[in-house]
Amino acid sequence: MIARPWTDDLPKCKNTCVASYFSRLGGGNTNTTDDYLCFYCQTEDNFSLYGVFEPHNGLDAARFIMQRMAAEILFPPPSANTDEEIRERLRNAFISVEKAYAENYDGMIAERTSLQYQLRTLNDTQITQNNNILARLKEIDVHLSGGAAVVIALVHANKLFVAHVGDTRALLCRTDDNAVLRVVQLTVDHSLNNEDELLRLQQLGLDVNKLRNAQYLGNQTGTRCLGNYLVKGVYKAFPTISAAVTEPVIAAPEIHGPIVLDESCRFLVLVSAGVYKRIQEAKGSYEQTNKQLAQIIVENFRKETDFRMVSQSVLEEIEQEFVSYCVKNNLTPKPNTHMSLLIRNFNFLPTNEDENIPHQTVTRNASVRFNPIVQSKSNTLLNEIDSEIYSSGTTNEIETNDSNIDTNRSIESTSDIYPTGRQFDRDRKIKGYVDFSCYFENVAKARKNGTLPDFIK
């Protein structure tokens, strides 16, 4: 039996709900302690720390990385740091965890080196007769290939900082000047689809044209991670990356922030790739994945009476739709996919500060308009949101009963996604937020190919 992680005893942030488990399609158990790979805590100095860890090649390394990461950031306790000091603390935590990982496996690495030396002294017949050496080497390689994609969020003094490696994501959902809920991706996936990462790999001497068509970088899909000694310490053993002048897969995180958390910020989402990739497959949409995830979360905010169960409900809904998609298309998904989802409420629901309150009750409104618009940022600080959008901006209305709100009259908004006390002004003009660029691009392509319908001029 695996020992319970010490991070479970950290003082919990009461405005956060989490869920973490193996996909049922992989034969794993749902909601077991062993599968719990995230933390959400709040210190006495009013620092809040959140993390989601997506395991690669087993859970042992991910568990180690999760517990060590919390220790590196929280001890010694953070003090009144400047923004740059907080960024440096997060950066150093990743470096220290990576070093601790290597030290933790020092004995296994030494044993691997010794066994490989023994094999070099044997001929082919002797190697065949020493299957125990080959079996042990294979066992060691499995352990040494373990690692994790990581996303960390730290909140202090109404400022948000995010650090990550891999393809775990941080999404900030906030309302704009028109009270429309927007979804901003704060992180950039460290994958072979990332042009910045491909440029970095090219500078190391790798053939980017080959990498564009590759699914793996060594033994994993990500270009950054914590752990996984094999793709780092012995990367020369992988033909696709052996030409690199130094380790192509790195542990250095990207740091985003400070991002000011004002009244427009509704909730923060930390999510593993296993979750949003299921949405991508089931819905067949890549550009709208973040928006679709936000919509599912908002719908569950409204129908789930216990805030603590929202993340679990969201994962179950995503999994159910994915299972239906696989059955319908006779597909066999990758087994043992780990999924983690952390939701930190800011201003979407009433803040729960009272320890005696058993759970947050979701307030239902008579009529609520919800229109999340997806935005993506890469390598820039997100102090404010610009007008670039990727969705159509068509207004959706979510009705919870037969009552309607006449927005032509000057009344106080009852929606929990609108700023408190905002008044509707019938004479107020709002900024346009519909982007037709995608439509015009498709019209131009159709006209060029001669497939433009007659009713479009």
DSSP 307: G
**From CA 263, how far away is CA 243, in angstroms rounded?**
50
Q: Which domains does the chain have, with CATH numbers?
A: 6-188+257-345 (3.60.40.10)
Among 432, 431, 436, residue whose Cα is nearest residue 392: 436
Q: C-alpha distances in angstroms, 282 versus 10, 26, 40, 324, 360? A: 36, 17, 29, 8, 31
Burial label, 235 (beta-carbon count in 10 A; 0-12, 13-18, 19+) = buried
Among 393, 61, 71, 361, residue whose Cα is nearest residue 230: 61
pLDDT at residue number 118: 86
Spacing of C-alpha 79 from chain mean position: 27
pLDDT at residue number 129: 74
pLDDT at residue number 435: 58
**From CA 207, how far away is CA 244, in angstroms rounded?**
9
Tokens 């309302």 label which residue?
175
Cβ contact 256:161 at 8 Å = yes
Cβ contact 160:153 at 8 Å = yes
**From CA 43, how far away is CA 80, in angstroms rounded?**
13
**From CA 262, how far away is CA 267, in angstroms rounded?**
11
pLDDT at residue number 434: 53
pLDDT in tens, 60-118: 899 999 999 999 999 887 676 799 999 999 999 999 999 999 998 899 999 999 998 88
In degrees, rounded to 5, the angle at the alpha carbon of residue 328 between the alpha carbons of residues 325 and 329 is 85
pLDDT at residue number 58: 83
Q: What is the pTM of this model?
A: 0.77
**From CA 115, how far away is CA 44, in angstroms rounded?**
49
pLDDT at residue number 1: 46
Which amino acid is present at 105? Answer: Y
Tokens 């994958």 label which residue?
191
pLDDT at residue number 416: 33
3-state secondary structure the chain: CCCCCHHHHCCECCCEEEEEEECHHHCCCCCCHHHCCEEEEECCCCCEEEEEEEEECCCHHHHHHHHHHHHHHHCCCCCCCCHHHHHHHHHHHHHHHHHHHHHHCHHHHHHHHHHHHHHHCCCHHHHHHCHHHHHHHHHHHHHHCCEEEEEEEEEECCEEEEEEECCCEEEEEEECCCCCEEEEECCCCCECCCHHHHHHHHHCCCCHHHHHCCCCECCECECECEECCHHHHCHHHCCCCCCCCCCCCECCCEEEEEEECCCCEEEEEEECHHHHHHHHHHHCCCCCHHHHHHHHHHHHHHHCCCHHHHHHHHHHHHHHHHHHHHHHCCCCCCCCCEEEEEEEECCCCCCCCCCCCCCCCCCCCCEEEECCEEEECCCCCCCCCCCCCCCCCCCEEEECCCCCCCCCCCCECCCCCCCCCCECCCCCCCCCCCCCHHHHHHHHHHHHHCCCCCCCC
pLDDT at residue number 179: 83
Regions of the chain with pLDDT less than 50: 1, 26-34, 353-370, 372-426, 428-433
Tokens 């102090």 label which residue?
383
pLDDT at residue number 424: 43
pLDDT at residue number 35: 58
